[in-house]
Chain A
Amino acid sequence: MRRFRPHNVRARLTLWYVAILAAVLVIYAGSASAVLFFELRSQLDHRAVEDLETVEGFLSFGVDGNVLLRNDYHDHPYPATMQERLMEVWTPDGNLLYRNEVLGNRALDGPPKPREGADSYSNRAVRLADGTPVRLVSKRHLLDGRPVVIRVGFSEQPLWERFWQVAIGLILGLPLALGLAGMGGYVLAKHALGPVERMARRAREINADRLNARLDVENPNDELGHLASAFNDTLARLERSFEQLRRFTSDASHELRTPLTAIHSVGEVGLRGESSARHYREVIESMLEETARLTRLVESLLTISRADSGQIRLARTRIAVVPFVREVCSFVEVLADEKSQRLTIGGDSEIEFEADRAILRQVMINLLDNAIKYSPAGGAIFVRVSTVEQEVAIEVEDHGPGIGPAHRDRVFDRFYRVDEGRSREAGGAGLGLAIARWGAEAHRGRLELACPPVRGCIFRLVLPMVSADATMQNGANGQVHLSERAEAG
């Protein structure tokens, strides 16, 4: 059998509410009835005991050995108690001495039990022959020096009537109360969940074309406010990555179009009219050069897209920082040498850390290449290694023209060039620093740009010395997502 399970939260909430309320009410009604019943019964017992005590004094033996009850203690002839009272007097050995008129010929529970009423008042429930339920109190008594058992009983009929009255009232009231509560609960749930419904409707309207829309936050401090804020944050991130993707696609196609245009136009113009073999050769060479540039660009894009999709895994090894920096510097030294620039390395030679050598090398090469490219001939470039607390900082300082405040935030963006024309001629596609920053962040480090007041700029690569995250990273496949890192940064 399938369990009944309503589909919307509103109905489920109401159902739960009603079910719990029903359970509470049933328990309440049950205990209230029980309390009432026992209360009424103890009243009855009390009355019987009192009556029995009263009656004792008015009993006496008649001449025939039977017991007589004097009725003259009542103010008026037939009081209510007397009319209702059921009474018998027995000898302990089972001879009936007295039975009052109200009982008539109905027996009040036969001969006395062995020690009935011997110690104190003993009370019990019995049934008369006609089915009337009776509450019975017995007591042993010395009547004129002879022991007798006096029994006084009262019908339980009124007690039960009263009890059922209340119980039926409660039972009838229960569904009514539940119905009302259910309706109330439903309305309340609907009201409480209304904002959720509105949020859902609004969220449905937001699509890729309208990512700038946001949910309304009615009260930022309540639960729904938290939900809306969380959703808005997600939207903001989504919008940023969409924007990033859009810009990346448009920039990439622009970058690809440039060499393609060059190839096409060089070829096209070369084919115009007859020309010398030498000229054709030049045309083809020029086209090949552009193709080489295109290939390199595609490779950079591939690197970036693999980083974006988290396909690049860090292969961490222990690296001694200063020898590593020295090695990278010696690789690019020839470029600095060409421009008569001095490349100076300074810093603590003892530091070691764990990192992916190839990626870090690419980061350093990009930074140094940048510094060499933008420093004037004969300038000086400093590379400094230092430690601050648990971090290693590698600084690359050049004395070029520096980077204007307008560009500082964007130099790490993909395809961003401070000086459009010049940089492309210098061979960059504006991806070097973007890749460098990704490399730093892939190592849980960061790449910062500091601009001294005079001139030049300092790129500071900061990496955690003890890579506490190394095991964790490797545990999670060691995959690194460029976009996420970029977001974090």
Chain B
Amino acid sequence: MRILVVEDERKVAQALREGLEGESYSVCVAHSGEDGFFLANSENFDLVVLDLMLPGRGGMEVLSAMRKRGLRVPVLVLTAKDAVEDRVLGLDSGADDYLVKPFVFAELSARVRALLRRGKAESPVALGIEDLHMDLLTRRVRRGPRQLQLTSKEYEVLEYLLRHQGNVVSRDMLGRDVWNETARHATLDNVIDVHMVRIRRKVDEGFATKLVHTVRGVGFVITAEKS
């Protein structure tokens, strides 16, 4: 899987390269709109991560030029502007998804996975990790022999974690995708934290292998590996 990152801020570009390479993607970085457009045209990529605030040729311009050329490659737009108009503008001009800066890398990684997976239908009937089993049809969750009593919110959070298992899930992602909150705020973070504490208690209490982990400052992950 080849990913083109068009980002002029070198530190961010470097972090993205390292992060994505760490997830076994092959990454190519362009530091300007011109370079990005040239690379996207001349080479084959599975995904483009495009910053909108670029010197010279802006990201918007690059994107529409790419679409005019008939390049169908999925594009994930990064923008520092938090205005709804910009978002709509981004999606109208052919972006497949957007992410508002500052973002957590875990979220970018999740978006990248989702975009690359797009089109490949997968609707599992059950999710699980180690001895934790979630039946999506009956909405029953069990760990080993023990049946877990989860509230519906806890169930949704756990399902979300399981769908992203092995990858960190940020509070932003939970807030938006599980709680459907439009804006992030301190109360939401507290609510999420309380739910995580409860889920952890129900899932991990009494088991030697801990599955739910907190990644301080980033979010949560469900994994069998010890952090």
Q: Which residues of A does B touch, CB under 8 Å? A: 284-292, 295-296, 299-300, 302-303, 311, 331-332, 334-335, 337-338, 358, 362, 365-366, 368-369, 427-429, 432
Query: Known contacts A332-B191, A334-B191, A335-B191; is A299 also within 8 Å of B183 by CB?
Result: yes
- B218:A362 contact, CB within 8 angstroms: no
- B217:A291 contact, CB within 8 angstroms: yes
The distance from the CB of B227 to the nearest CB of chain A, in whole angstroms, is 9
Q: Which of B141-194 contact A (CB under 8 A)?
A: 153, 171, 179, 182-187, 189-191, 194
What string of 1s and 0s marks CB contacts (under 8 Å) between B104-142 and chain A?
000000000000000000000000000000000000000
Known pairs A292-B171, A335-B191 / 6 extra A-B pairs, C-beta < 8 Å: A285-B215, A289-B217, A334-B153, A338-B194, A358-B182, A362-B185
CA distance in complex: A290, B216 (Å): 10
CA distance in complex: A287, B195 (Å): 24
* B92 contacts partner chain A, Cβ-Cβ < 8 Å: no
CA distance in complex: A488, B184 (Å): 29
- A299:B184 contact, CB within 8 angstroms: yes
Query: Known contacts A292-B217, A295-B102, A334-B194; is A369 also within 8 Å of B187 by CB?
Result: yes
- A331:B216 contact, CB within 8 angstroms: no
- A335:B194 contact, CB within 8 angstroms: yes
Show 25 A/B contacts (Cβ-Cβ < 8 Å), sorted by A: A284-B217, A285-B216, A286-B216, A286-B217, A287-B217, A288-B216, A288-B217, A289-B217, A290-B217, A292-B171, A296-B186, A296-B189, A302-B82, A331-B179, A334-B191, A335-B190, A335-B194, A337-B194, A365-B187, A366-B187, A369-B186, A369-B187, A427-B186, A429-B186, A432-B186
- Chain A residues contacting B194 (CB-CB under 8 Å) are 334-335, 337-338
CA distance in complex: A365, B189 (Å): 12
- B190:A331 contact, CB within 8 angstroms: no
Closest 6 CB pairs of A and B: A288-B217, A285-B216, A289-B217, A369-B187, A427-B186, A334-B194
The distance from the CB of B9 to the nearest CB of chain A, in whole angstroms, is 16
- Chain A residues contacting B218 (CB-CB under 8 Å) are 288
Identify the closest chain A residue to B153 (Cβ): A334
The distance from the CB of B172 to the nearest CB of chain A, in whole angstroms, is 9
- Chain B residues contacting A299 (CB-CB under 8 Å) are 82, 183-185
- Chain B residues contacting A368 (CB-CB under 8 Å) are 187
CA distance in complex: A285, B217 (Å): 6
The distance from the CB of A304 to the nearest CB of chain B, in whole angstroms, is 12
> Which of B186, B194, B215, B217 has its CB near the most chain A CB atoms (within 10 A)?
B186
CA distance in complex: A369, B185 (Å): 11
- Chain A residues contacting B82 (CB-CB under 8 Å) are 299, 302
- Chain B residues contacting A296 (CB-CB under 8 Å) are 184-186, 189
- Chain A residues contacting B198 (CB-CB under 8 Å) are 334
Identify the closest chain B residue to A299 (Cβ): B184
- Chain A residues contacting B153 (CB-CB under 8 Å) are 334
The distance from the CB of A286 to the nearest CB of chain B, in whole angstroms, is 7
- Chain A residues contacting B187 (CB-CB under 8 Å) are 332, 335, 365-366, 368-369
- Chain B residues contacting A295 (CB-CB under 8 Å) are 102
- Chain A residues contacting B179 (CB-CB under 8 Å) are 331
CA distance in complex: A302, B84 (Å): 13
CA distance in complex: A206, B82 (Å): 38
CA distance in complex: A288, B217 (Å): 4
CA distance in complex: A358, B82 (Å): 17
- Chain A residues contacting B185 (CB-CB under 8 Å) are 296, 299-300, 362, 365
What string of 1s and 0s marks CB contacts (under 8 Å) between B87-110 and chain A?
000000000000000100000000
- Chain B residues contacting A428 (CB-CB under 8 Å) are 186
The distance from the CB of B187 to the nearest CB of chain A, in whole angstroms, is 4
Query: Known contacts A288-B218, A292-B217; is A303 also within 8 Å of B191 by CB?
Result: no
CA distance in complex: A303, B191 (Å): 21
- Chain B residues contacting A289 (CB-CB under 8 Å) are 216-217
Identify the closest chain B residue to A366 (Cβ): B187
Identify the closest chain B residue to A333 (Cβ): B191
The distance from the CB of A261 to the nearest CB of chain B, in whole angstroms, is 17
CA distance in complex: A334, B191 (Å): 7
CA distance in complex: A302, B195 (Å): 28
- Chain A residues contacting B171 (CB-CB under 8 Å) are 292
The distance from the CB of A139 to the nearest CB of chain B, in whole angstroms, is 102
- Chain A residues contacting B183 (CB-CB under 8 Å) are 299, 303, 358, 362
- Chain B residues contacting A292 (CB-CB under 8 Å) are 171, 217
What string of 1s and 0s marks CB contacts (under 8 Å) between B50-93 and chain A?
00000000000000000000000000000000110000000000
> Which of B190, B195, B218 has its CB near the most chain A CB atoms (within 10 A)?
B190
Query: Known contacts A288-B217, A296-B184, A296-B185; is A331 also within 8 Å of B102 by CB?
Result: no
The distance from the CB of A15 to the nearest CB of chain B, in whole angstroms, is 54
